[in-house]
Amino acid sequence: MYIVGFLGSPRTKGICSRLMQAALDGAQSNGATVKHFDLIKCNIQHCMGCCKCLFDDPARAIGRCPIKDDMGALLEEYSRADGYVFASPVYDGAVTALMKKYLERKIGLTHRSPDAPATIGAARVPAEFKKKGLLIVTGNCPDEYREVMGDPCFEQMGAHWMIEQVETVEQIYVGGTEVLSEADIENRRQKAFQAGIALVDAVNKET
């Protein structure tokens, strides 16, 4: 089993990163092969809105984008995986621009005919909910603000999964990042570790 994590924080040693790594460590402890992608280290250009990837031959598992950067290889890894961890800090009430840029460029996993305007695309390879995903959001606003700060981010990161037919198994919001003690962070890391274990269990249930 292969679980991949995509980190939307530019701080590769920050709290969000540590939580995502804890989830991947949990998944690995439960038998998965894991990989941690720091999106800040990847060459991901802005989507230019041509929709060529979206309209590309529906027989292709990944629609071809004319931009030649790291996104093609990231989508290959994504397609190979059985489960996902997406993690982003809240920036200005939403996911980071870095995570958003990655999400926009992921649209090549869906297909829509140019002859069917104003319709929603369909997954090129529907996962039939056998693939599972875990979402992690960190914010400086305390845990009570989960609904205001966390939910828009969960919705944004999980939106493609509805189309791709990936089941979200858990959404973890960790607030008050500026005041978390090392003990608090360790406690949250343990929760993320357990969520990583549960992610693998959920994938295993399907096979």
Q: Which is nearer to ligand FMN, 137 or 200 (CB)?
A: 137
Which residues are paired to 85 by β-bridges?
A: 5, 134
Count of CA atoms in the C-beta half-sphere (13 A) of 152 = 13
| Between 31 and 93, CB nearer to ligand FMN | 93
Closest to ligand FMN by CB, 14 vs 126, is: 14
Minimum CB distance to ligand FMN, residue 71 (Å):
22
Single-letter amino acid, residue 150: G
Taking CB atoms, the residue at the shortest distance from ligand FMN is 14
Residue (148 or 159) nearer to ligand FMN, CB: 148
CB of 190 to ligand FMN, least distance (A): 18
User: From the CA atom positions of the chain, what is the Rg in Å?
Assistant: 17
Do residues 125 and 160 lie in contact, with contact meaning Cβ atoms separated by under 8 Å? no
**CA pair distance 90, 149, nearest whole angstrom:** 7
How many Å apart are CA 197 and CA 195, to the nearest integer? 5
Residues that bind ligand FMN (CB under 6 A): 9, 11, 14-17, 89-93, 138-141, 149, 177
Q: From the CB of 201, what's the least distance to ligand FMN, in Å? A: 27
Cross-strand bridge partners of residue 5: 36, 85
Minimum CB distance to ligand FMN smaller for 36 or for 131: 36
Which is nearest to 90 in space by CA: 144, 145, 140? 140
Q: State in angstroms the smallest separation of the CB of 97 from ligand FMN.
A: 9
What the block records as the tokens of 91 is 């920036």
Is residue 171 within 8 A of residue 95, CB to CB? The reply is no
Least distance to ligand FMN, CB of residue 86, Å: 13
Q: How far is the CB of 11 from ligand FMN (least distance, A)?
A: 4
Q: How far apart are CA 63 and CA 54, in angstroms?
A: 6
CB closer to ligand FMN out of 132 and 146 = 146
Total number of residues shown for the chain: 207
